[in-house]
Amino acid sequence: MAKRGVEEVVVVALEEKGGAMAVVVEEKEQKEQKENEKEEEEAHPYAFHVSGPRNVAKPNWRDLINSSWKDTNYKRSVIACFIQAVYLLELDRQENRTVETALAPKWWMTFKYKLTQTLIDERDGSIFGAVLEWDQSAALADFVLIRPSGAPKAILVLRGTLLKGPTIRRDIEDDLRFLAWESLKGSVRFKGALEALRTVAERYGSSNVCIAGHSLGAGFALQVGKALAKDGIYVDAHLFNPPSISIAMSLRNIGEKAGFAWKRLKSMLPSSSEPQADCDEEIKDNSLKSWLGNIYGDKASMGLKQWVPHLYVNNSDYICCHYTDPEGKTEENEANKENTGPTNGQVAAKLFVMSKGKQKFLEAHGLEQWWSDDLDLQLAINKSKLISRQLKSLYSLPASQVTKRPR
């Protein structure tokens, strides 16, 4: 009996030892799994240290003396990184990444910003935008006592089309919306972005807020920014590869060309007293418009003067290349120039054009090009026909002001 008892004790001891060993093995496997995940994250092509900018420094105490944010190249590169973060927020969500393995945070934490809000598309639950704000506590850790001059307190960033299963349907739906109507106001994303931008602008002041987007997101950013500008809220806007193709625009161009052709044909026909009277009325009408424009000029151009979006386009990108089409001088433009574009040296938008010769579409439309080291940008000096058309409502003379007598 004693011998049997000893054997039972030995068996129990071995079982306990085996259990302990199993726990140790399990913990070791978990540790190895975490290390593998970390290595995978570090080697991921979208990891910040793999595909992020090489020569863009993070904020430091030197920014107190000479802010990096005053450098247009630095500002463009950092804002492009913020947009990349939104793409990765959605990819992290789709791939169920944990806080430890998420790719997105590095793209804003490096520059001392923090995520305060994600914009969710209620149709599919996807993340299409985010609000990033200056992280003072993180900045203090690197002895950056105050926010560098030129750095926004908050920035709303919007991603473009993501060709992945969970979100491709709604992205393409909004792409087609713009293609058909040249407007995105019917989308739930427009409403969400407008509310988010208005909220941060009221909280921090419009001069401390920025909006940015890429591709489809740039289309939303342009229309959201313009909507706020109409309300007298002017925020800094940076638009990368904004869409410039739509059926509505094509039909409008065809209509304009047909109208010009008809006017030329009419001018070749024999004139009579009745057409001359119509012409006199037209001249009077234009004189009245010019007179009203002189009276209300400051008010009519107020939005344009204070809201000048920055557009970044690539000549090889057929989605945004039409922004570089110059605005041709036509008889109609000359007759209605106070209502068709900026005057008196005003600038409708800052259009930055990159041309590297012939490029593949994915390269020309990609976001990564905007923080690359060999970027060669030129500020377009010509008036863009498309920009003038899209911003026309900001400097057109409102009908209500035409009927209202000046005081």
Name the least confident of 28-32, 213-217, 280-284: 280-284
Give 274's pLDDT tier (boundaries 50, 70, 90).
very low
Does residue 160 surpass a pLDDT of 90?
A: yes
Token readout for 149 is 């001059």
Domain positions in the chain:
45-254+307-323+347-389
391 near 327, Cβ under 8 Å? no
CATH code for residues 45-254+307-323+347-389: 3.40.50
Find the angle CA(100)-CA(102)-CA(104) to the nearest 5 degrees. Answer: 135
Q: What is the mean pLDDT of residues 126-144?
A: 94
d(CA 85, CA 79): 10
pLDDT number for residue 234: 94
pLDDT number for residue 38: 57
Looking at residue 201, the DSSP 8-state letter turns out to be H
Nearest to 304 by CA among 167, 397, 239, 382: 397
pLDDT number for residue 228: 94
Nearest to 146 by CA among 70, 235, 57, 59: 59
pLDDT number for residue 181: 79
Give 260's pLDDT tier (boundaries 50, 70, 90).
low
- If one compares 41 and 199, the residue with the highest pLDDT of the two is 199
Task: Read off the pLDDT of residues 321-369 as tens digits, 9 standing for 90 and up.
Answer: 888 777 654 444 444 443 444 554 455 788 888 877 788 888 889 999 9
Q: Where are the alpha helices (DSSP H) in 63-122?
A: 72-94, 106-109
pTM, two decimals, is 0.74
Between the ranges 242-246, 262-266, 268-272, 363-367, where is the mean pLDDT highest? Answer: 363-367
Does residue 216 surpass a pLDDT of 80?
A: yes
